[in-house]
Amino acid sequence: MALVCPGANATRSRCACPDTTHRCQAEARGRASLPIDSGVIGFAPGTKVTLIEQVDLVSTVTDGEYQFKVPSSQLTNDLDLAASVASADYAAQAQIAELTAKRAQEYSQQQRDAFIASEKEKAQKKTGKKTSRRPSPTPKR
């Protein structure tokens, strides 16, 4: 069971609650979400939650504000594992944010370039219309 911190692992890793017979702190190992009337609340890996109840493979937990159900396999009381998962998630989110910012900057540059090209084209058409109004030279015979 994911919430139990076996004695063998207790010496190798830090546990939030070695005795799981009472409510204990656990950390989310994966993303969890809670649908609400106005949208969805997301809980990142590593979010500290308190175990309220565990029935079969589903645990009811609270983060202190919201109560929700998660698969028990998504919980751990191994603080080192939780920190590792949270760190990996943060790194992935930072990478996504960086890539998104880069693509937004590239898009903005493309839009600026397209606008400048459009303005140049308009200016050339205006200039071209003025020169086309001049009488063309008549061929000599």
Planar angle of CA 73, 3, 9, nearest 5 degrees: 110
Residue 57 belongs to a domain: yes
* pLDDT over 60 (residue 10): no
Residue 47 belongs to a domain: yes
The confidence score (pLDDT) of residue 17 equals 62
Residue 6's alpha-carbon distances to 18, 45, 57, 98, 118, in angstroms, are 8, 21, 18, 39, 68
Q: Which domain holds residue 26?
A: 7-87
CATH number, domain at 62? Answer: 2.30.30
Q: Is 39 left (phi over 0), alpha (psi -120 to 50) or beta?
A: left
Report the amino acid identity of residue 80.
D
Residue 43 belongs to a domain: yes
Residue 19 belongs to a domain: yes
Domain count, the chain: 1
* pLDDT over 60 (residue 5): no
The confidence score (pLDDT) of residue 23 equals 40
pTM for the model: 0.57
Residue 27 belongs to a domain: yes
Residue 118 belongs to a domain: no
pLDDT tens digits, one per residue of 12-53: 457 666 544 334 445 556 678 888 999 998 888 888 888 888
The confidence score (pLDDT) of residue 32 equals 81
Residue 54 belongs to a domain: yes
pLDDT tens digits, one per residue of 61-114: 888 899 999 888 888 888 888 888 888 889 989 999 999 999 999 999 999 999
* pLDDT over 90 (residue 130): no
